[in-house]
Amino acid sequence: MEIEPLTGSNDEAIISSRFPLVALLALAVAGFITILTEALPAGLLTQIGSSLSVSDALAGQLVTIYAVGSLVAAIPLTAATQGMRRRPLLLTAIVGFAVANTITAISTNYGLTMFARFVAGVSAGLLWALLAGYAARMVPDHMKGRAIAVAMVGTPVALSVGIPAGTFIGTTIGWRPCFGLMSVLTLVLIAWILVKVPDFPGQVAGKRHSIRQVFGMAGVRPVLFVTLAFVLAHNILYTYIAPFLAATGMAAQTDLILLVFGVTSLIGIWIVGVLIDHRLRALTLASTILFGFATLALGIWSDNPTVTYCAVGVWGLAFGGAATLFQTALAKTSGNAADVAQSMLVTAWNTAIAGGGIIGGLLLEKIGVGAFAPALLCLLVPTFVVVWMARHHGFQAVDPRG
């Protein structure tokens, strides 16, 4: 029997042995829209700035304010909504995107557009906190990792296909229709969720979890540290990949390099999706090692185009399934407190994104791109150590539920 939402005020979703692919793909599309909404302005800054009569630098703050919204909203909103049924809460977050992207598409006022982007960021903070726990609740324990992998596939698809395509469409027909198209896609997704995604109850009052209680759970802190350090290392390099390549004479190949990264990221998430339910710890260790080797290669042989392409490919392979690995580890570690724990992961992830821009910028300005590889290794070595040490809680050597 497959998962079907029952009707009525006390409806419950029935967990079955059939893998709910269609419902999980709806969650993946929600993630796709989230990433596309976040990153699309970066490729259309000049158009947006000209249309709103602001500089490129001010237009760039449309990305910053989105991250700020996610950062400040994820934990308090998730904690405050623990008692709400899950599907209405999921739809509330998605409606937030429809409203924000529609306002962005029609607004001619910079302040109003910034407000809409902040609302989109708040919606993203809530959505990311929900996705992994939602996917995990649809399936039995032995399918949780694969379910989360499917729900997370929207991220690499958005990065490798959605953003380049969106940038092309925005350049061709204008940036406003591009955001309008995302609103239309969001409306389609709302209908999809109403028809195919099961509902789940929230936590009853006596079983809700405080932030302090969840943070104190064994295994939660190692997963959050690994997320912060790994994603920070990634964003230092990814944010400044263009000046890094320019320093080695490969500026003209930046688009192709990013395409290689995107394609291998998709391969990475596919591998993780196949193996994660039985090999989560090994996959996390392997991803950290691969990222470390790619960093070494880029630091030592960055003037060799062949090595650069191979290293970026390995980096993409390592990073593609990272979100799935960390979210699955946290979901298994936190159990019924998964949504609150995931909100902490969202905060750690967005902190790493902001930190990557700040730290990478300082390194670039003060030392140069040669400082990137040592800085990344200073983050990846403790990442590996923490994963290795967390064999009993966080990144278990043997999954106690498997």
Mean pLDDT lowest among 5-19, 154-168, 214-228, 274-288: 5-19
* pLDDT tops 80 at residue 72: yes
* pLDDT tops 60 at residue 373: yes
- 319 lies in which domain range? 211-389
Mean pLDDT on 295-320: 92
Q: Are residues 94 and 232 in the same domain?
A: no
Q: What angle do CA 365, 367, 371 make, to 5 degrees?
A: 115
Mean pLDDT on 379-386: 96
pLDDT given at position 206: 55
pLDDT per residue as tens digits for the range 216-268 = 788 889 999 999 999 999 988 887 887 888 888 887 787 788 788 888 988 99
pLDDT per residue as tens digits for the range 170-219 = 878 889 999 999 999 999 999 999 999 998 887 765 566 777 788 778 88
Q: Let me know if residue 399 belongs to a domain.
A: no
Is 287 buried (19+), middle (13-18) or exposed (0-12) by CB count in 10 A? buried
Q: Let me know if residue 3 belongs to a domain.
A: no
pLDDT given at position 8: 37
pLDDT given at position 2: 32
Q: Let me know if residue 308 belongs to a domain.
A: yes
pTM score, whole prediction: 0.77
- CA of 337: how far to CAs of 47, 189, 341, in Å? 43, 27, 6
Q: Are residues 186 and 270 in the same domain?
A: no
Mean pLDDT on 309-323: 92
Mean pLDDT on 11-26: 72
What percentage of the chain's residues is helix, strand, coil (to nearest 5)? 80, 0, 20
Q: Are residues 228 and 167 in the same domain?
A: no
CB 371 within 8 A of CB 359: no
Q: Let me know if residue 357 belongs to a domain.
A: yes
pLDDT given at position 5: 38
pLDDT given at position 362: 85
CB 307 within 8 A of CB 297: yes
Q: What proportion of the chain, given as a percentage, has pLDDT over 90?
A: 36
* φ/ψ of residue 13, rounded to 5: -90, 140
Question: How many residues are there in the chain?
Answer: 402
Q: Are residues 215 and 189 in the same domain?
A: no
Query: Which of 207, 229, 246 corresponds to the end of one domain?
Result: 207
Q: Are residues 264 and 169 in the same domain?
A: no
pLDDT given at position 17: 61
CA distance linking residue 63 with residue 41, whole number of Å: 7
Q: What proportion of the chain, given as a percentage, has pLDDT over 70?
A: 93
CA distance linking residue 351 with residue 368, whole number of Å: 23
Q: Which two tokens stand for residue 348?
A: 């750690």
pLDDT given at position 224: 93
State which amino acid sits at residue 336.
N
Q: Are residues 161 and 254 in the same domain?
A: no
Q: Let me know if residue 278 belongs to a domain.
A: yes
Q: What angle do CA 341, 343, 347 make, to 5 degrees?
A: 120
DSSP per residue, 77-117: HHHHTTTS-HHHHHHHHHHHHHHHHHHHHH---HHHHHHHH
Mean pLDDT lowest among 41-45, 96-100, 178-182, 204-208: 204-208
pLDDT given at position 204: 64
CA distance linking residue 212 with residue 223, whole number of Å: 16
Query: Which of 207, 224, 248 corresponds to the end of one domain?
Result: 207
Q: Let me know if residue 322 belongs to a domain.
A: yes
Q: Are residues 237 and 345 in the same domain?
A: yes
Residue 399 vs residue 167, higher pLDDT:
167
CB 318 within 8 A of CB 288: yes
pLDDT given at position 192: 96
User: For the domain that residue 104 is a member of, what is the CATH number?
Assistant: 1.20.1250.20
* pLDDT tops 90 at residue 65: no
Q: Is 13 helix (H, G, I), strand (E, B) or coil?
A: strand
Q: Which two tokens stand for residue 52?
A: 């709103």
Mean pLDDT lowest among 11-20, 138-147, 370-379: 11-20
Count the domains in the chain: 2
CA distance linking residue 354 with residue 92, whole number of Å: 26
Q: Let me know if residue 41 belongs to a domain.
A: yes
Mean pLDDT on 375-393: 93
Q: Are residues 266 and 194 in the same domain?
A: no
pLDDT band at 95 (very low <50, low <70, confident <90, very high): very high
Q: Is 199 helix (H, G, I), strand (E, B) or coil?
A: coil
pLDDT given at position 6: 33
Residue 70 vs residue 23, higher pLDDT:
23
pLDDT given at position 370: 87
* pLDDT tops 90 at residue 119: yes
Mean pLDDT on 268-282: 86
CA distance linking residue 30 with residue 36, whole number of Å: 10
Mean pLDDT on 298-325: 91
Q: Let me know if residue 15 belongs to a domain.
A: no
- With CA atoms as reference, report the closest residue to 261 among 227, 225, 298, 229: 298
Query: Which of 207, 228, 257 corresponds to the end of one domain?
Result: 207
Helix and strand numbers, DSSP H then E, in the chain: 17, 0
Q: Which helix (H) or strand (E) holds 290?
A: helix 254-300
Q: 165: which residues sit within 8 A by CB, 6+ positions away?
A: none
pLDDT given at position 23: 94
CA distance linking residue 160 with residue 165, whole number of Å: 9
